[in-house]
A and B are shown apart, each in its own frame.
Chain A
Amino acid sequence: MRRLWLLVILAVLGLALRVQAGQGCFGPKCHSRGKIIKGQPHQPVASEQCDKCHFPHVSRYKYLLKAPQTEICFSCHKKIKEDISKASFVHKPVAEKSCLRCHSPHSSTHKALLKKDIKNMCFSCHKDLQTKFKYSHLPFTKGRCLSCHDPHFSQDRRLIKMESNKLCFSCHKDRNKIAKIHGENINRVECLSCHQPHGSNKKGILRPISHKPYAEKNCKVCHQTKKRGVALCLQCHNKNINSFEHFHNHLLGSCEENACLVCHNPHVGDTKDLLKDKPKYLCESCHFQVKQQRAKSLYVHPKCDQCTNCHLTHGSDHPAMLINGGNETCVRCHKTQGKFTHPVGEKVIDPRNGQPITCVTCHEPMGTNFKYNLRLSGEATLCLECHKNY
């Protein structure tokens, strides 16, 4: 009789351990192995260690997970977690802790447990990317996005795997051939400043809009002149100097040999003003705190990332290089606020500093934690700054 009891206890213990180790999860009446494992299994699934991620009975997390999903992933993939913390730019799903947006947790027929093949995976979000070009870059045509991009993080905002020229030269190894076209400057210029890495309708996958002398192959206009620095550009764009003659300006002498080249590409670009990058990214490359402010604010102006809607780029007489004063800039869109609002304008003086009250006295469009982008709570705190006895 004693022996029988001992056997029963051992059998129960054995079953419990089996369940704990995950071996009891798969079965015809529970979780079908065939349904869960399709293709290459995730290592804990292959070794039937379901308990690495799941509790067998109860959990406060969905799918009986032992912890929030990302925490579970990073409990094994520690290196990625560490690298992400050091990276300047993180892919949005990673930043949003959504590993499962791209990866399947149990198994996949695709590399790296991806839910789809790489091309379809990337294009499931990046739907706006132009795909048809007269001239295409081979890795792009073949859907090998990860030849150039890192899917998790990068030190470059384009999430490229390494410094851009290094990346290009890792395939385009024939430096002599490149030097024949570009001269000896190949190490001084960034390939991506002129070449569109996915494709282009211009030969040499060049960016679409060309500087007139470059389009006309009239290189000597710029390259065979004694003019140097800003004067080189001003020999054609002579009226532009006036746009800098304002209280505030963006003339950053010595940042480049020619200050214009801080923001403009002298050969080709994606925009008619031949900016080096989209305005948002170009501005953020110096004004990085704006991006941080936007990220940590609950309320941000909806067009906050279209900097040139409100700010001038060469020069302005207004603080923050606004297009116009703190009222005039806003009422271009907020037309009714220009007519019916808290009194603003030259005759309405802020008691705190004696300056005229404008929209930006109370609102901070770059982002705050208060509704309507108010600088302080609109319930009372903000008003009491001026209306002390109210």
Chain B
Amino acid sequence: MFRMSQKLLILNLLVILFLVSSAWSFKLKFSLEKGSDDIHLRQPFTAFFDQSNLRLYIADTGNNRLVSYELDGTPLKEFDAAGQLRGPIAMIRDDQGNLWVVERPLNSLTFIDLKAHRLERHQIIYQDNPVLIDRLIWWSPYLMLLDRTSGKVLALDNNLNIKRVITPEDPNFRGFIDFKIKGDILWGLENITGRIFAINLKNNQENIIYPQIKMVLPISIEIDNQENLYILDRDLKKVFVFDKNGHLRYSFLKEGFQPGQVRYPWQLLFVKSNLLVVDEGNGRVDVWGH
């Protein structure tokens, strides 16, 4: 009996040690706070990592501009399309090096050809409804965007025709609030409930993961190489890390103003092994690494 309880105790200690070490495994490496012009970010919403040139781009929404950085956090350039950009909340750079920017105040999917100095604004309609464009991902050759009106992910071709609509078959589906694509799997985070839908874009197989804690306002999702799921809760000001079965492994972050703390976080993004937390409230992007 005694031996049994001793074993249990040791097991418990090992579990606790594992959890604690995991929780401490992320450390704040640095923060992206300013552009190269020394102007502080204002209400940044999203970050984009360009694999081709290894640069980070931040949608500096409140300053109506995009800001690029080296991977080590050195600010490079600011871009506002000669003062034309209005409240960019998301951006990507496609295979040809063109920018696609979501200008929320105009509800525009804006195409920017940097070489030709050309800017075109587009409104998208899906089933007679105006698409309220939100998150963007380039999944060659498609531009994948989240439509807040329908809660679905739309795949657009070069001519901005909707080629595919990605939505789970679950009749209780309540719309996506964020999504990421890793390989052929689209990981969608459901509004309010925080359920995670893993949809294979090749064979349409669908898997639902139920996080085993109740969150308040799940707003962004990320996935690491081990398929651990990272969910950012904007109201609880925390990142919850779940295993692929939805069991909570640990959580980190807390509310505050200091670097490493968040006020109104909006997006999670893995860049290499670093996790970026874009915090609109504190006007910065915290880069967490091991």
Residues of A within 8 A of B (CB): 226-231, 234, 241, 244-247, 249, 251-255, 259, 286-289, 317, 319-320, 349-350, 352-355, 361, 385
* Given contacts A229-B129, A234-B130, A245 and B105 within 8 Å (CB-CB): yes
**Other CB < 8 Å A-B pairs besides A229-B128, A247-B104, A253-B150, 4 of them?**
A251-B149, A253-B149, A353-B283, A354-B284
Query: B42 to chain A: which residues have CB within 8 Å?
Result: 355
User: How many Å from the CB of B265 to the closest CB on chain A?
Assistant: 10
Contacts A247-B61, A287-B235, A350-B257: A255 and B151 contacting too (C-beta < 8 A)? yes
Interface residues of B in 54-94 (CB under 8 A from A): 61, 87, 89
In the bound complex, what is the Cα–Cα distance between A320 and B149 (angstroms)? 20
Contact among A229, A246, A320, A361 with B150 in the assembled complex (CB-CB below 8 Å): A229
Stretch with Cβ within 8 A of A (4 or more), from B22-30, B167-175, B241-249: B167-175
Query: Given that A352-B258, A353-B257 are known contacts, is A319 also in contact with B281, CB under 8 Å in the complex?
Result: yes
Q: Is the CB of B167 within 8 A of A254?
A: yes
The size class of the interface chain B forms with chain A is: 35 or more
Given the interface pairs A245-B104, A247-B61, A254-B174, the reply to whether A355 lies near B151 with Cβ below 8 Å is: no
12 inter-chain pairs at a CB distance below 8 angstroms, sorted by A residue, are A228-B129, A234-B129, A244-B132, A251-B132, A252-B174, A253-B175, A255-B191, A286-B192, A319-B43, A319-B263, A319-B280, A319-B281
Q: Is the CB of B129 within 8 A of A231?
A: yes
Whether B89 lies near A352 (C-beta < 8 A) is no
B234 to chain A, nearest CB (A): 9
Measured between C-beta atoms, what is the minimum distance from A149 to chain B in Å? Answer: 27
CB contact under 8 A between A255 and B175, given known A246-B104, A249-B132, A317-B87: yes
Q: Which residue of B lies closest to A244 (CB)?
A: B132
Write out, one digit per residue, whether chain B residues 139-160 have a CB within 8 A of any chain A CB (1) or not (0): 0000000011111100000000
For A229, list chain B residues within 8 Å (CB): 127-129, 149-150
CB distance from A263 to the nearest CB of B (A): 13
Which residues of A are found within 8 Å of B106, using beta-carbon distances? 245
Partner of A228, one of B89, B127, B175, B283: B127
Is A227 within 8 A of B128, CB to CB? Answer: yes
Nearest chain A CB to B247 CB, angstrom units: 23
Question: In the complex, A287 Cα to B89 Cα: how many Å?
Answer: 24
Determine if B34 is an interface residue (Cβ-Cβ < 8 Å): yes
* Shortest Cβ distance from residue A373 to the other chain B in the assembled complex, whole angstroms: 15
**What residues of chain B lie closer than 8 Å to A289, measured between beta carbons?**
216, 235-236
Judge whether B151 and A253 touch: CB under 8 Å: yes
B264 at the interface (CB under 8 A from A): yes
Seen from chain B, the residues whose Cβ lies within 8 Å of a Cβ on chain A are 33-34, 40, 42-43, 45, 61, 87, 89, 104-107, 127-130, 132, 147-152, 167, 173-176, 191-192, 216-217, 235-236, 257-259, 263-264, 280-284
Contact of A231 with B128 in the complex, beta carbons under 8 Å: yes
Inter-chain CA distance A349–B43, complex, in Å, is 15
Q: A289-B235, A353-B282 are in contact. Are A228 and B151 (CB under 8 A)?
A: no
List residues of chain A with CB within 8 A of the CB of B283: 353-355
Chain B binding site: helix, strand, loop or mixed by DSSP? Answer: loop
Given contacts A287-B216, A319-B280, A355-B283, contact A252 B107 (CB under 8 A): no
Chain B residues contacting A352 (CB-CB under 8 Å) are 257-258, 282
Point out the residues of chain B lying under 8 angstroms from A354, CB to CB. 33-34, 40, 283-284
From known contacts A247-B61, A319-B263, infer whether A255 and B128 are also in contact, taking CB-CB under 8 Å: no
Please report the C-alpha to C-alpha distance between residue A246 and residue B132 in the assembled complex, in whole angstroms: 10
Q: How far is the CB of B63 from chain A (nearest CB, A)?
A: 12
- Residues from chain A with a CB closer than 8 A to the CB of B43 are 247, 319
Residues of B contacting A245 in the complex (Cβ-Cβ under 8 angstroms): 104-107, 132
Q: If A247-B45, A249-B148, A288-B216 touch, does A254 touch B127 (CB 8 Å cutoff)?
A: no
Shortest Cβ-Cβ A-B pairs, 8 listed: A254-B151, A254-B175, A253-B151, A352-B257, A353-B282, A354-B40, A319-B264, A231-B128
- The chain B residue sitting closest to A256, CB to CB, is B174
Question: Closest approach, in angstroms, between the C-beta of B39 and any C-beta of chain A?
Answer: 10
B258→A254 contact, CB < 8 A: no
The answer to whether B148 and A251 touch across the interface, beta carbons within 8 angstroms, is: yes
Q: A253-B149, A354-B34 are in contact. Are A247 and B87 (CB under 8 A)?
A: yes
Which residue, B106, B129, B284, has most C-beta atoms of chain A within 10 A? B129
In the complex formed, the residue of A with least CB distance to B177 is A252
Report A-chain residues with C-beta under 8 Å of the C-beta of B104.
245-247
Q: Which residue of A has the minimal Cβ distance to B255?
A: A375
Q: Give the residue among B34, B107, B175, B264 with the most A Cβ atoms within 10 A.
A: B175
Q: In the bound complex, how far is the Cα of B43 from the Cα of A228, in angstroms?
A: 34
B149 touches A259 (CB 8 A): yes
Residues of A within 8 A of B61 (CB): 247
Please give the distance in Å from A244's CB to the nearest CB on chain B. 6
User: Closest CB-CB distance, A286 to chain B, in whole Å?
Assistant: 6
The complex places the Cα of A6 from the Cα of B264 at a distance, in Å, of: 82
Measured between beta carbons, the chain B residues less than 8 angstroms from A349 are: 40
* Closest chain A residue, CB of each to CB of B258: A352
A228 near B173 with CB under 8 A, answer no
Q: How far is A245 from B259 in the complex, measured between Cα atoms in Å?
A: 30
Q: A354 to B43, alpha carbons, bound, how many Å?
A: 12
Residues of A near B167 (CB, < 8 A) are 254
What's the Cα separation between A353 and B259 when bound, in Å? 7
B148/A253 in contact, CB under 8 A: yes
A355 to B34, CA, bound (A): 11
Residues on the A chain within 8 Å of B87, using CB: 247, 317
**A130–B129 CA distance with the chains assembled, in angstroms:** 41
Tell me, rounded to whole Å, the shortest Cβ–Cβ distance linking A195 to chain B.
26
CA of A354 to CA of B31 in the docked complex: distance in angstroms?
A: 12
Q: B89: shortest Cβ distance to chain A, in Å?
A: 6
Minimum CB–CB distance from A36 to chain B (whole Å) comes to 48
